[in-house]
Structure 1
Amino acid sequence: MITYMKINKLHLFILLPIILAGCSPENNAQQENNNSLTVKTEKIIHYNGSYNVGYSGVVVPKQSTSLSFGIMGIVSKIAVEEGQQVNKGQLLAQLNPSNMENTYQMAFQKLQQAQDAYDRLKPMKENGTLPEIKWVEVETGLSQAKSATAIAKRGLDDTKLYAVADGVIGKKSIMVGENILPGVKAFELLDISKIYVKIPVPEDEISAFKKGDQATITVGAITKTIAGTVREIGVSADILSYSYPVKIEVQNSDFTIKPGMVCTVSFATQNNAAGFLISNKALQQDLQGNQFVYVIENNTAQKREVKTIALIDKKILVSGNLKEGDEIIIAGQDKLRQSSLINIAQ
């Protein structure tokens, strides 16, 4: 028994320094460091001044016209391609004219016959030797022949489709050899000498817009920045996004801006705003749609709700419980929770 107690005391004497060493401040710090998440941070900047309001938009043609044949027939010729510039009156496509040509020739021959009868019997009408009822038949026959010939001529002309205005062929919907019905769209003719940039504006901001407002538009696809003017302000909101369409007119005489291109649109405001400038990388959003950032406090991440005010010089102007000089996390937020231990990357 005495030997057993001595052995236990010896073990306790050996283990005690190890236990105490494990509880030392250095080891505690190391353990905490191992449990922390590495993040990148930046300091926020206080801002008080004017700002621009920005929107995303898409280019749409100022006018789009659907062109179609007025008669049924087989497409025998297509004279233009998609994206081609055309002038008013230019031939776009043609149907096989054989049937209409035959119809016109038959109508024209009947017109000649009716005209010949009219010319031969007119002197008899004038000297009173032709019965009145016979003269009525002659006049009626000539009138009907003229109408039938005009209709046949119009049908023959309708085998050719022409541009109704200057523009660009936006879409071609027919092929050679295709049997096409009247009224079916063959081409889409776009007027893009002036284009519209269409933006969705939230319902709480639409009242600030008026016709004639000036905007700065940047088209990323062609690296071009141009000026535009508000021409149309929608009065009916989209039922899904609760936004109103606003159309901004832009000159496009060189046709470099194409329908479908995505743009950023900026409007200068007369109002000043106060807040904090942060990187867009810092801005987070929870499941309820609330925006927030993580602020560093005592080596922990603290969640602070914010509200976006505007975009300024590629930074986001926000309001919230922040102060100038606060360090906010801009990378490594994926696994963060409220009060998570953090380690700032150097």
Structure 2
Amino acid sequence: MIKTYSKLAALCLSALVMAGCQGEQEETQRVPLVISTITLEEPVSINTREFNGQVVAAELTPLSFPVEGEITELMVKPGQQVKRGQLLARLDNRKLIQRLEDAIAQHDLSYRQLTRAQRLLGKKLISQAEFDELQANYKKAKANHQLVKKQLNDSKLYAPFAGQVSHTTKETFESVAPGETVIELYQIDQLYVKLQVPDSLLARFNPQNQGGDYQPTAYFAGNKQAYAMDYLEHTSEPTPQGMSFDAWLSMPQTQPPILPGTAATVKVDLNQAGLSSADGYRVPMTAVVPATEPGQFVVWKVKQDKAYQSQVEVSQIHTSGVLIAQGVNLGDQIITSGQAQLREGQPVTTVQQEQNL
């Protein structure tokens, strides 16, 4: 009996201790997190925008053989410049040469037989049916001769334009299938810059205000000179990573040449480019947090001393700050620190941070 009472007392004591610990833990959770904030002032209007891009190969073209075979000669290497019509690679053509010789012999034989049959037909020494058969054999031999001759020519790979070899995917003595890329070639007289344009920016495109002669300005890594570029094209569908579109600008290649892979910064005057100016609220980069979805962003707002997450549309990211087009309003209190520790509805103690952007 005494042992039973002792067990009950021990259980009660344990329950009281656990309750006390939970109370202390809940009390600890109620302690507000100290964070920094800014209060949004009047929205700003941005007429100039910068985009980060990269130099890409102009008109990158994969080259392949239309016939199968084994590569016996690969005459170029990456980085090498070639002329239009220059021989780049060759397949083993010994079997094709033999087939061509057979096709020539068959073509000559069928031609002589047809010529002889024409004289015999005029003398009515052969029937029309026999003549028709010989004529069909000649046409078949002629077609086969032309086919094998083309295949033999297709065993050589020539440069379709003057350019530079970007990449070779095969080596000597490797086998290739018809249409399999062997060499990638790009133009060296043109320079392309690829960049991404947000859908929110394209949505503000005004065709009536488009400046046909306007050229954005580009700056390249390691080069302080500014270059005027022409708009080339943009995709009709957004990229899988986010709501943005790929766009390309072009210009004549420089000397010394600017190589593919070089980082580029493109400055665009939105009004001259036929785009309305970007209006929004500028906040520090520390205020904007990537969302779970690619290309999406959120901010944390303070309402009645509690933190709440809000999705926003970012129209511009710059070293001086981020321009938010939608999702925030005048007077909103935006958290700029400690977002990784925040939970929805968590109590916070704010430390006002002046807007200095």
Give TM-score scaled by structure 1 length. 0.64
Taking the aligned partners of 1:113 and 1:287, their CA distance within structure 2 comes to 77
Quote the residue 1:214 is aligned against. Answer: 215
> Cα RMSD over matched residues?
4.1
Quote the residue 2:151 is aligned against. Answer: 155
Going from structure 1 to structure 2, the CA distance change for 1:192 and 1:121 (only over 3 Å counts) comes to: same
Taking the aligned partners of 2:278 and 2:131, their CA distance within structure 1 comes to 90
Q: Does 1:197 align with 2:198?
A: no
- 1:89–1:165: 8 Å Cα contact kept in structure 2? yes
What secondary structure sits across from 1:245 in the alignment? strand
**Shift in Å, 1:127:** 3.5
Quote the residue 1:236 is aligned against. Answer: 237
Listed as ranges, the matches of 1:263-274 within 5 Å are: 263-270=264-271
- 2:219–2:227: 8 Å Cα contact kept in structure 1? yes
What secondary structure sits across from 2:137 in the alignment? helix
- 1:199–1:246: 8 Å Cα contact kept in structure 2? yes
Q: Does 1:116 align with 2:112?
A: yes
What secondary structure sits across from 1:145 in the alignment? helix
One-letter code of the match for 2:215?
Q
> Which of the residues 114, 131, 136 maps onto 1:135?
131
- 1:65–1:189: 8 Å Cα contact kept in structure 2? yes
Going from structure 1 to structure 2, the CA distance change for 1:120 and 1:220 (only over 3 Å counts) comes to: same
Quote the residue 1:225 is aligned against. Answer: 226
**Shift in Å, 1:183:** 1.6
Quote the residue 2:82 is aligned against. Answer: 86
Aligned pair count?
A: 271
Per mean C-alpha deviation after superposition, the further-off stretch among 81-90 and 166-175 is 81-90
One-letter code of the match for 1:225?
A
Q: Percent identity?
A: 22
**Shift in Å, 1:105:** 0.7
> Which of the residues 100, 103, 107 maps onto 2:103?
107
Quote the residue 2:55 is aligned against. Answer: 59
Quote the residue 2:73 is aligned against. Answer: 77
Going from structure 1 to structure 2, the CA distance change for 1:66 and 1:75 (only over 3 Å counts) comes to: same
- 1:111–1:142: 8 Å Cα contact kept in structure 2? yes
One-letter code of the match for 2:227?
I
- 1:173–1:185: 8 Å Cα contact kept in structure 2? yes
Going from structure 1 to structure 2, the CA distance change for 1:188 and 1:141 (only over 3 Å counts) comes to: same
Per mean C-alpha deviation after superposition, the further-off stretch among 261-270 and 104-113 is 261-270
Going from structure 1 to structure 2, the CA distance change for 1:276 and 1:151 (only over 3 Å counts) comes to: closer
Write out per-residue CA displacement over residues 187-228 of structure 1, whole angstroms, 9 at most, x where no aligned residue: 112234223322212222223456744211111055553111
Per mean C-alpha deviation after superposition, the further-off stretch among 267-276 and 183-192 is 267-276
Write out per-residue CA displacement over residues 68-110 of structure 1, whole angstroms, 9 at most, x where no aligned residue: 1122211110111112222332111001111111111111111
Quote the residue 1:330 is aligned against. Answer: none
Question: Which has more radius of gyration?
Answer: 1
Quote the residue 1:256 is aligned against. Answer: 257
Quote the residue 1:68 is aligned against. Answer: 64
> Which of the residues 165, 182, 185 maps onto 2:181?
185
**Shift in Å, 1:149:** 1.0
Taking the aligned partners of 1:216 and 1:79, their CA distance within structure 2 comes to 39
Going from structure 1 to structure 2, the CA distance change for 1:224 and 1:108 (only over 3 Å counts) comes to: farther
Taking the aligned partners of 1:133 and 1:55, their CA distance within structure 2 comes to 76
- 2:198–2:315: 8 Å Cα contact kept in structure 1? no
Q: Which runs of 5+ in 1 are unaligned?
A: 1-47, 293-306, 322-336, 341-346
**Shift in Å, 1:263:** 0.8
Listed as ranges, the matches of 1:21-60 within 5 Å are: 52-60=48-56
Going from structure 1 to structure 2, the CA distance change for 1:64 and 1:57 (only over 3 Å counts) comes to: same
Taking the aligned partners of 1:147 and 1:286, their CA distance within structure 2 comes to 68
What secondary structure sits across from 1:197 in the alignment? strand
- 1:86–1:168: 8 Å Cα contact kept in structure 2? yes
- 1:216–1:228: 8 Å Cα contact kept in structure 2? yes
- 2:120–2:126: 8 Å Cα contact kept in structure 1? yes
**Shift in Å, 1:267:** 0.8
- 1:91–1:163: 8 Å Cα contact kept in structure 2? yes
What secondary structure sits across from 2:229 in the alignment? strand
What secondary structure sits across from 1:214 in the alignment? coil
Taking the aligned partners of 2:277 and 2:64, their CA distance within structure 1 comes to 54
**Shift in Å, 1:255:** 7.4
**Shift in Å, 1:136:** 1.4
One-letter code of the match for 1:84?
Q
Give TM-score scaled by structure 2 length. 0.62
- 2:54–2:264: 8 Å Cα contact kept in structure 1? yes
